[in-house]
Amino acid sequence: MAPNPSFFRDLAYVFVAAVAGGWLAWRLRQPVIIGYVIAGILISPLTPGPSVTNVHTLESFAEIGVVLLMFSIGLEFSLKDLVQEKWVALIGGPIGIVILIGMGMGAGRLIGWSAAQGLVVGAIVCVASTMVLTRLLLDRGQLRSNAGRVMVAITLVEDLAVVVLIILVPSFGSFQPNRFWIVARGFGRAGAVLAPAFVVAWKVVPPLLKRVARAQSRELFFLVVLAICLGIAALTQALGLSLALGAFVAGLIISASDYAHEALA
């Protein structure tokens, strides 16, 4: 089967646009990720000029990139340091979500929207992207600062809140109590699978990496680390959570071992 030539053309568009957008953002002393986002908009099918056609294929590539980025960030974090921010995250995250949803309803009321419409808009803007935030913190060298750990912990709580909001948003127009049972069952199922899986991972991964490291094969070590990253990411996605969240957790698990620096390299 011959490869689709349009795919390679699209891939060239992506890299050229990313280089141009990143360089321009750097010249303007702005975060490089802003240049990447603008470059993506310019080559999208929704804008005039050269545009990509295999959008879904490129989205899959982008998903892999996000997974690897969040995995590498998890490797640089200390689970102990992150857990220290648990109360700030568990309290600050929900408070921020409630405030932004309230602001969305208030803004909607001012322009004549219904309460349900304002609620939906507030639910959309109340969550931040952990991937974007960590990339900005990484560029500024603040990822491992106290403020950086707090912000990452809060956005991880918001990642979990996205699952709840996706299930509840359809019921905002008319109150449907059964939606809350769906949320409860979903989190119960996720907890029942993830908790034992992560306990096993913490017990299995460090000795596994130790055995692999003894083989002194960089290729084998790389494959094992990649399998752990993608395996845990796939597990969280199967339970309705994000791939990025699972990759971050995989990085945290490996960061607790003696081979975190080798895995990051």
If asked whether residues 213 and 196 sit together in one domain, one would say yes
If asked whether residues 149 and 211 sit together in one domain, one would say no
Nearest to 264 by CA among 79, 64, 135, 76: 76
Among residues 120, 148, 176, the one where a domain terminates is 176
Provide the pLDDT for residue 23. 92
Provide the pLDDT for residue 24. 92
Regions in the chain scoring below 70 on pLDDT: 1-5, 77-83, 163-164, 166-194, 197-198, 200-201, 265
Q: Is the dihedral of CA 212, 213, 219, 223 positive or negative?
A: positive
Provide the pLDDT for residue 68. 82
Q: How far apart are CA 174 and CA 106, in angstroms?
A: 19
* Tokens 């130790």 -> residue: 210
Q: Mind listing the pLDDT tens digit for each residue in 21-42?
A: 889 988 988 888 888 888 888 8
Whether 94 is covered by a domain: the verdict is yes
Whether 119 is covered by a domain: the verdict is yes
Write down the pTM of the prediction: 0.64
Among residues 176, 201, 223, the one where a domain terminates is 176
Nearest to 183 by CA among 240, 130, 246: 240
Among residues 154, 176, 198, the one where a domain terminates is 176
DSSP 80: H
Nearest to 130 by CA among 162, 108, 103, 172: 162
If asked whether residues 148 and 221 sit together in one domain, one would say no
Neighbours of 6 (CB within 10 A): 12
Which two structure tokens, joined as six digits, stand for 184? 């409860």
* Tokens 């790389």 -> residue: 222
Q: How far apart are CA 12 and CA 20, in angstroms?
A: 12
Q: How far apart are CA 86 and CA 245, in angstroms?
A: 16
Q: Mind listing the pLDDT tens digit for each residue in 230-262?
A: 888 888 787 777 777 778 778 877 777 777 777
Q: How far apart are CA 225 and CA 222, in angstroms?
A: 5
Helix axes of 146-168 and 243-255: crossing angle, nearest 10 degrees: 140
Which two structure tokens, joined as six digits, stand for 188? 């119960």
* Tokens 């991964």 -> residue: 205
Q: How far apart are CA 180 and CA 173, in angstroms?
A: 15
Number of domains in the chain: 2
Provide the pLDDT for residue 1. 46
Inter-residue contact 103 to 122 (CB < 8 Å): yes
If asked whether residues 233 and 149 sit together in one domain, one would say no
Whether 97 is covered by a domain: the verdict is yes
DSSP 126: T
Q: Which domain holds residue 220?
A: 178-265
